A and B are shown apart, each in its own frame.
Chain A
Amino acid sequence: MIRVQREDFDPARETQALVEGKHEIGGVVSFVGLVRDLASGGAISAMTLEHYPGMTERKLAEIEAEAHARWPLAASLIIHRYGRLEPGERIVLVATASSHRDAAFEACRFLVDWLKTKAPFWKLEETPQGERWVEARAEDDRTAKEWAQPKSKPEAAE
């Protein structure tokens, strides 16, 4: 399930709703991304996330489908916010649920890594020196590429 929204979300309630009534699920892994008050260039007071409505939902759905193709997931959820956010606020929630923990852990990590390099979001930071667009990190690209070939198909784990 994919949601792109301006409003905040409640991680506990969202993960509970995700697994509700699905008793084949043995574990749920969730990642919550937060706005830091410190960026590579120094302090920031807020950031504004811009995105490409339409393409964002399409890319997130593709990434989620890829995770389901690679791991035996019973349920998954990606919520990504846009708009102006201050330090401490939640940006993103990725939750994956499966019968066994390995699939849930790995798929969650995969989704976070891939959405950072494939979903059309851009961050504008507010700093004491003015506004600054965050530049993509080469390290994020390398991390995402490590998942290019499925390396942990369920059959390989057995």
Chain B
Amino acid sequence: MKLIYFAWLKQRTGTAEEEVTPPKEVTDVAALLEWLKSRGPGYAAALRDLSVVRVAVNQEFARLDHRLEPGDEVALFPPVTGG
């Protein structure tokens, strides 16, 4: 699974992009975020307040209960501020 981070999520996790193989019990977005928190203090800090974290799966906005597949591209970012 490919993970991509943008804006302050990239800064706090110290990661722009990574390939991960989460444990089998990680089947949806909510479980993925919980698992990521356990990967280090930067991840825990970045994901402490999920109300300011948005998720896209394969470049479409996704909710916490969205089911994940091994080949998915999952992006984590704050609410958007373009225009």
Number of interface residues of B (CB under 8 A): 15
Q: Are A119 and B80 in contact (CB under 8 A)?
A: yes
Q: For chain A, which range describes its interface: under 10, 10 to 19, 20 to 34, or 35 or more residues?
A: 20 to 34
Is A24 on the interface with B (CB-CB < 8 A)? Answer: no
Number of A-B pairs, beta carbon distance below 8 Å: 67
Q: Are B80 and A118 in contact (CB under 8 A)?
A: yes
Q: Are A50 and B83 in contact (CB under 8 A)?
A: no
Q: Are B59 and A123 in contact (CB under 8 A)?
A: no
Is A11 on the interface with B (CB-CB < 8 A)? Answer: no
Min CB distance A5 to B, Å, is: 14
- Chain B residues near A123 (CB-CB < 8 A): 81-82
Chain A interface mostly: mixed
A46-81 interface (Cβ within 8 A of B): 49-52, 54-55, 58, 80
| Cα separation A134 to B8 with both chains bound (whole Å) | 10
Is B7 on the interface with A (CB-CB < 8 A)? Answer: yes
Min CB distance A33 to B, Å, is: 6
Q: What is the interface of chain B, defined by CB distance below 8 A to chain A?
A: 4, 6-8, 56, 59-60, 75, 77-83
The 9 A-B pairs with the shortest beta carbon distances in the complex, nearest first, are: A121-B82, A136-B79, A116-B83, A55-B59, A122-B7, A134-B81, A123-B81, A119-B82, A133-B8
